[in-house]
A and B are shown apart, each in its own frame.
Chain A
Amino acid sequence: MDMSKYRGMFLSETAEHLKKMSALLLALENDPADRDGIDALFREAHSIKGMAASMGYDRTAELAHHLEDLMDGFRQSGVVPPEAVDRLLAGTDLLEGLLEDISAERDEREIADFLTSPAPSKKEVEGTSVSVEPLPEKADDEQPEIEAEASEESSSEIVASGRLQLVIELAEDAAAPAARALIMLREIGRMGTVLNSRPGEEQLRKGEAARKIEITLQSDRSADEVRASLLVMADVERVGFAAPVAEPRARRREDGSRTVRVRTELLDQFINLTGELITNRYMLQTSVREESWQETRAGLDRLSRLVTDLHHHVLQVRMMPLESVTGRLPRVVRDLARKCGKEVNFCHEVADIELDRAILEHLSDPLTHMVRNAVDHGIESQGEVSVSAWREKDLVVVEVGDDGRGMDVESIRQKAIEKGLLSPVQARGLREREVLQLVCHPGFSTAAQVTETSGRGVGMDVVKAEVEALGGTLDIITSPGEGTRIQLKLPVSVAIIQILLVECDGKTLGIPITRVQRALEIERSEVRSSGRQMVVPLDHEMVPLISLNKVLKLPTHATGETVPVVVTEFRGRRLGLVVDRFAGQREAFVKTLASPLDRLSGVSGATILGDGSLIFILDPQALLDGGPGRATNRLVGEDA
């Protein structure tokens, strides 16, 4: 039986069991004799073992079995000692790694070290000692170890993306190795497409002798098949496989195989809707045939309602509980607090909040970073870190808070001047909220020194960029001594957004409404210049103007009595983008872009209008932050 189609289901279900195990373990750490908890944990391990065994993932099954055995012991004794919690958590981490391997269609990683390593001895007592036990580093941001040197044994490590990295060695005494290599290259070409070879065909043709040839081959044959058919050739001494290089295109294809679980009621609703649509079609066909326009109009109204309904339901399929990404945060807080010897209570209230899976997928790293920041910089020696979420109109607010020392607005202002981010005059003019946004400026860090925690992973600038790319906003609320709260305001769904259409040099472009503070027509006479910078007074403030035409390297057309300006926020300050014309506002289904267009900085997607025309959607922040070679100070000096 072909099990591969069940793999997605196995992965998502096992991931859920692991999440539960992790939560149960943390609860057991506080209440080691909780009978129900111990039983539940045993059951989770048991379920994983059963599923993995039936799928033929032997190492995963073996490890789950090992954990189950451990738990069985604690079922007898009725209590889980704290060092066992560490061991079990390390076990769940390893299981997570195995799932990654299975997901990437690699062979499962080695687990023998874990199985044979002795359970940690009881010498350390938690909390009191400064030399906290080293925690096992999380493996998920590291590539599994793959032998860098090509060897016969490593062929099992090949990712099944159909791309093989071959290293072929010819026998020492091979006559005319270059010619031999050419023939071989041709032979390999029959097994697939040779994407690259070193030395290349040309060099070989020129007679460049090579005993060792490296080839990237796209083939649907397995590594072993390829090896077998090469080894029968004359003079081929050794065929090895190196780890394939990270392949962005292959990775994207892998993304496509994700699965979703859908409630059966929702499926039933889809079937009902489809039924109604079919009825509606017959009704429309009849009324058109009979030229009964009143009936047709009624039918079209009904159709429009059905489509809206369908859209609503389809979006629901994409919704996932926020908990699916916040679930691992208690563990993050626990591990980090232990590592820096702090006592941190974690409070977690996100019940019932759901978001589009595309948003959730991008939220995981930013949330982890914010929580790490809160533990690392917010809390001094003891305190509370909280993650909470609630609905606010059609947005979801996710807040990470701490009750630590808070941020000092004045010292941030001072530091921004020292770092040359702002002139003293500019800094004085900024409001408190704007000053706090400077924390998210690349290169700005409030930590006196870079610690291990804040030094790795994403910084606040990346968090902000990620949130904005999702169409959300980031706000910081803080006061000295009263802690810091960072709020992310996110759209519930990304697929459909409101966009403002603007025209530059006859080309229509979209800007998400969430990025637009105001869109207004300014009298040309109101535009003033301050140095080489054009500005316009807006609510008692001088707002700098930048021509969108110039940013896009399009010709400018300064005509007309009024200047259309899109007011947006850039690095915590207001900024006006001058366009040629406003062209309306509409709902747009945003399509994400594939390579190579996905690398255009400042272009976040595209949408197709009713007449089939394409409109690209700009992200003003990313556009102004600019791709390569576009420094901030170039903004000054650009005019309307």
Chain B
Amino acid sequence: MEKVLIFTLGDERYGLEVAHIQEIVESPPLFYIPRAPGHYRGALNFHGTILPVLDLPLYLGFSQAECGERVVVLPPSLGTLALAVTAIERIVPFESDSLLPVPQERLGHGYIRAALEREGDVINMLDIERLLTTLDQA
């Protein structure tokens, strides 16, 4: 049984496997990164490691969406990055077998790996590998 963190970007629900999360940090101070593209909100001192904080709603095109105070830190094995999202909701268990293919009309920005249905709501599973690969090549 895996677990998934549910968060929102604008008013859409997204999910990220807990295995892909190192820690959720409560309103950390963010520092100015010179010359950084606009989709970085700043840098975070995470126990001596310097992590850029990606404004996920902005990066994925939710132009009106704001970011909450909490940020999601990815494990170092995945990448040196933290994600700012609109709001963090909760962690729920899920079966990886229950993942559904993404309907064509919902593909949108292309960072959705699969969909998860829960209590009548559709949760988009974030394709974190693809996100990191794109950032790495940007």
* Residues of chain A having any CB pair with chain B under 8 Å: 193, 195-196, 201-202, 205-206, 218, 248-249, 507, 509, 552, 591, 593-597, 599-603, 606, 608, 612-616, 618, 623, 627
Contact = CB atoms under 8 A, between A and B. Distances in A.
B35 A603 contact: yes
A616 B33 contact: yes
A600 B135 CA distance: 13
Contacts of B31: 613-616
Contacts of B32: 507, 616
Contacts of A594: 50, 80
A273 to B, nearest CB: 22
B104 A552 contact: no
A608 B48 contact: yes
B43 A614 contact: yes
B34 A205 contact: no
Contacts of B52: 596-597
23 contacts: A195-B129, A196-B133, A202-B104, A205-B104, A249-B79, A249-B136, A507-B32, A509-B34, A552-B35, A595-B135, A596-B138, A597-B33, A597-B43, A597-B50, A597-B52, A600-B35, A612-B29, A612-B45, A613-B31, A614-B45, A614-B50, A616-B31, A616-B34
A592 to B, nearest CB: 9
Contacts of A201: 101
Nearest to A201: B101
Contacts of B50: 591, 593-594, 597, 606, 608, 614
Contact-residue size bin, chain B (C-beta under 8 Å from the other chain): 20 to 34
A602 B35 contact: yes
B36 interface: yes
B107 interface: yes
A455 to B, nearest CB: 29
Contact of A193 (B45, B102, B129): B129
B79 A606 contact: no
Contacts of A205: 101, 104
A614 B33 CA distance: 9
A509 B136 CA distance: 25
Nearest to B29: A613
A218 B33 CA distance: 31
A390 to B, nearest CB: 36
Contact of B129 (A218, A615, A627): A218
Best-buried of A206, A594, A614 by chain B (most CB within 10 Å): A614
A195 B137 CA distance: 14
Given A195-B130, A608-B45, 10 more contacts: A195-B133, A205-B104, A218-B129, A593-B50, A595-B79, A596-B52, A597-B33, A600-B34, A601-B35, A613-B29
Interface string B33-69: 1111000000101001010100000000000000000
Contacts of A195: 129-130, 133
Given A201-B101, A218-B129, A594-B80, A552 B45 contact: no
A499 to B, nearest CB: 14
B42 to A, nearest CB: 9
Contacts of B102: 202
Nearest to A189: B96
A586 B31 CA distance: 19
A603 B52 CA distance: 14
B49 to A, nearest CB: 8
A257 to B, nearest CB: 15
Contacts of A616: 31-34, 43
The 4 closest A-B pairs by CB, nearest first: A614-B31, A594-B80, A507-B32, A600-B35
B136 A248 contact: yes
B111 to A, nearest CB: 13
B45 A613 contact: yes
Best-buried of A596, A601, A615 by chain B (most CB within 10 Å): A596
Contacts of B135: 595-596
A366 B79 CA distance: 31
A614 B82 CA distance: 15
Contact of A552 (B34, B81, B130): B34
Contacts of B36: 597, 600
A272 B29 CA distance: 39
Nearest to B28: A612
B19 to A, nearest CB: 11
Nearest to B138: A596
A196 B33 CA distance: 31
A78 to B, nearest CB: 58
Nearest to A548: B34
Contacts of A193: 129
Nearest to B129: A195
Nearest to B134: A596
Interface in B121-138: 129-130, 132-133, 135-136, 138
Contacts of B133: 195-196
B136 A595 contact: yes
B41 to A, nearest CB: 13
Contacts of B29: 612-613
Contacts of B104: 202, 205-206
A597 B51 CA distance: 9
A613 B44 CA distance: 9
Best-buried of A600, A602, A618 by chain B (most CB within 10 Å): A600
Nearest to B81: A596
B47 to A, nearest CB: 10
Nearest to A190: B96
A314 to B, nearest CB: 16
Nearest to B128: A193
Nearest to A602: B35
Nearest to B136: A595
B107 A202 contact: yes
Nearest to B36: A600
Best-buried of B31, B104, B129 by chain A (most CB within 10 Å): B31
Contacts of A608: 45, 48, 50
A509 B36 CA distance: 14
Interface in B91-107: 101-102, 104, 107
A184 to B, nearest CB: 15
A206 B103 CA distance: 11
A614 B49 CA distance: 10
A606 B36 CA distance: 13
Best-buried of A196, A206, A248, A606 by chain B (most CB within 10 Å): A606
Nearest to A249: B136
A149 to B, nearest CB: 25
Contact of A596 (B107, B129, B136): B136
Contacts of B33: 597, 600, 603, 616
A507 B31 CA distance: 9
Contacts of A552: 34-35
A487 to B, nearest CB: 31
A548 to B, nearest CB: 9
Contacts of A591: 50
A507 B32 CA distance: 7
